[in-house]
Amino acid sequence: MNINDNMKIGLITAFSVIALFVLSLLITQAPASDDNAVRFGVLTLLPPLVAIILAFITKETILSLFIGVFVGEFMVSVNNLNIIESAINAFLALGSQVIGCMADPWNAGIVLQCLLIGGIIQLVTKMGGAKALADALAKRADTPKKAQLITWFLGLCVFFDDYANSLIVGPIMRPVMDKLKVSRQKLAFVVDATAAPVAGIAIISTWIGLEISLIAEGFKSIGMNVSGFGIFLQTIPFRFYNILILIFIVISALTLYEFGPMKKAEQEARKRKDSEPVKALEAPGFDEVQPVEGIKLSIWNAIIPIGTLIIGALIAFYWSGYTIILGGEDQALIAIMKSSPLSFNGIFTALSQSDASVALFQAALLASIVAIVMAVLQKIMSVEQAIAEWVGGMKTIVITGVILLLAWSLGGVIGEVGTANYLVGILKDTIPFWILPTLIFVLGALISFATGTSYGTMSILMPLTIPLAWAVSPDMGFVVTCTSGVLTGAIFGDHCSPISDTTILSSMGTSCNHIDHVQTQIYYAIFVAIIAIVFGYIPAGFGVPWYFCIPVGVIVMYIGLRVLGEKVEFEETA
């Protein structure tokens, strides 16, 4: 360690001590209150802001998340100006917070399914299935334009879950995109933009149970007993951001126009020589894994395990919901399961009640067994080798698990300090009716960006939005528009946030540096969100029909891309 390093450590330590002392002083002088949102005031924004700003400055996601969690726990632990005591209590609370997140059944299921899918991807790669599938896709996707459109289409196909989308589509399309000199950043954007935006509006997905239950409960609070699913369907045309971001991918792919940091990333990727390997982006991934030497490549070594994962997930979703309903007390749902379990209504009802994290884990476990058996029966690997490769694939995902745990912990401590309640409190008052859908969209985006969770944002805002919208204008169409603002704003903020789990998984699945992914994607997300507001939610607040808003938004989006962007040419090789 040289003198400069010692000086840096000394300066950082001194600055940290001073900052913690000032923070302690501000907290101890604040009026006492049982509500932390009132007690801390604007300081409630500190934990997410510290994590987000540090992530952009240092490009160290784990360190930034850790410090963000620590700052939040420190705030909760402060009782006096003894910063040493507060810091020790904060560190102990941080450990309990992380363990609590890991002990949560939903979180544990997500981490385990990620590990298992990592093992499947490695087995598929070693069996040559990934290369065979990439070669087959490359025959059709022989230009960046076609490759991006195929990636977009695959993202639509894996509609049922955003996590599964990120972990399946990214590894399949990465070698194709690399061969065609499309940047990892662009691939990560397409994967991320077809994850939550698709799952959030799909009528069969792991999201729908939460969405329709929140809608139904919100209407109950104003004395209306409505079908949550029926209202959900009515919100789909008003999900302007979801719809426009999916159309934006197609326009960008067809025109090859890019702007902002994404343009630079694409230009650098195009300049790469065929013999030159893809620039290392310091991201976890499967780049170094190669098929077993001398084996015959077959696309079935990819299609069967991945198909098992997808089909198995849908079956597991149904069975999970079916058993949960029959074990519950809702007689109306039980009657549906007993009378017509395989009707559209029965299937939809079961899927909407399923435990997605358990179902995906079960599907991933089944697909893992299928992949191992295929490797052994084809004599590509022995049982011991296949299991070793499966475990090796899990190791690649471990860093993602660490990031997810810290992101969830940050979400937990943000809840403790009252960040979301503070944001709602300062933004909800004194508003004209026509701006309410836009305000709700923006508020949802801010909360989701700061907390990294769209689920949590929906859960916070929906109970407030429906009564507020009804009080402002007792018109069902207006309330539906405001409801869509909650669901869509949460997805937009989550899409931009560097501490979002889906953003993290998209980076991992495409082997793209996480902060590079965030920095290139955020320009496109904000561009589309502005159009969604100006040509979607503001006109809709005045009662303009969606079938007018969306076409106008698409036209403006196309013109904006042509004005702001520049075509990144591709030289086709013989």
What is the rounded CA–CA span in Å between residue 17 and residue 27?
Answer: 15
Q: Do 505 and 114 touch, CB atoms closer than 8 A?
A: yes
Confidence of residue 246 (pLDDT cuts 50, 70, 90): very high
What is the rounded CA–CA span in Å between residue 159 and residue 339?
Answer: 28
Mean pLDDT for 22-34 is 74
**Residues near 408 by beta carbon (within 8 Å), at least 6 away in sequence:** 101, 104, 107, 501
Residue 485 has pLDDT above 90, yes or no: yes
Residue 568 identity: V
Residue 300's CB: how many other CB atoms inside 10 A? 14
Tokens of 498: 């560097």
What is the rounded CA–CA span in Å between residue 569 and residue 459?
Answer: 44
User: How confident is the model over 93-112, as pLDDT tens digits?
Assistant: 888 888 988 888 877 877 78
DSSP conformation letters of 400-465: HHHHHHHHHHHHHHHHHHTHHHHHHHHHSSS--GGGHHHHHHHHHHHHHHHHS-HHHHHHHHHHHH
Select from 313, 269, 307 the least CA-distant residue to 172: 307
Residue that the structure tokens 């070793």 belong to? 388
Helix axes 46-58, 436-451, angle to 10 degrees: 70
Residue 433 identity: F
Q: Do 285 and 508 touch, CB atoms closer than 8 A?
A: yes
What is the rounded CA–CA span in Å between residue 294 and residue 152?
Answer: 33
What is the rounded CA–CA span in Å between residue 531 and residue 272?
Answer: 34
**Residues near 173 by beta carbon (within 8 Å), at least 6 away in sequence:** 134, 137, 147, 150, 151, 154, 187, 191, 510
pLDDT for 403 equals: 72
Mean pLDDT for 109-134 is 80
Tokens of 103: 């002990």
Check the CA dihedral 12-16-17-18 and report its sign.
Answer: positive
User: How confident is the model over 370-381, as pLDDT tens digits?
Assistant: 999 998 898 888
pLDDT for 282 equals: 46
pLDDT for 280 equals: 47
197-456-39-446 Cα dihedral, nearest 10 degrees: 0
Tokens of 128: 């040559």
Select from 273, 255, 272, 281 the least CA-distant residue to 185: 281
Q: What percent of the chain has pLDDT over 70?
A: 87
**What pTM value is reported for the model?**
0.69
Residue 424's CB: how many other CB atoms inside 10 A? 18
Confidence of residue 239 (pLDDT cuts 50, 70, 90): very high
End-to-end CA separation in angstroms for the chain: 52
User: How confident is the model over 138-154, as pLDDT tens digits?
Assistant: 677 778 888 899 899 88
- C-alpha distances in angstroms, 71 versus 44, 280, 321? 10, 32, 39
**Torsion-angle region of 296 (φ positive above 0: left; ψ -120 to 50: alpha; else: beta):** beta
Mean pLDDT for 43-62 is 75
Rounded to the nearest 5 degrees, what angle is found at the Cα of 317, between the Cα atoms of 360 and 323? 120
pLDDT for 10 equals: 62
pLDDT for 572 equals: 58
Q: What percent of the chain has pLDDT over 90?
A: 21
In the chain, what are the domain boundaries? 16-103
Q: Do 376 and 390 touch, CB atoms closer than 8 A?
A: no
Q: Do 521 and 542 touch, CB atoms closer than 8 A?
A: no
Q: Do 261 and 571 touch, CB atoms closer than 8 A?
A: no
Check the CA dihedral 231-236-238-242 and report its sign.
Answer: positive
Mean pLDDT for 344-359 is 75
Core vs surface per residue 96-120: b (16+ CB within 10 A) or e: ebbeebeeeeebebbbbbbbbbbbb
Residue 364 has pLDDT above 60, yes or no: yes
Mean pLDDT for 273-298 is 63
Q: Do 53 and 68 touch, CB atoms closer than 8 A?
A: no
Side-chain-facing half-sphere of 496: CA atoms under 13 Å: 25
pLDDT for 574 equals: 39
Select from 355, 256, 342 the least CA-distant residue to 569: 256
H helices of 158-299, where?
162-179, 184-193, 196-199, 208-220, 228-235, 240-255, 261-271
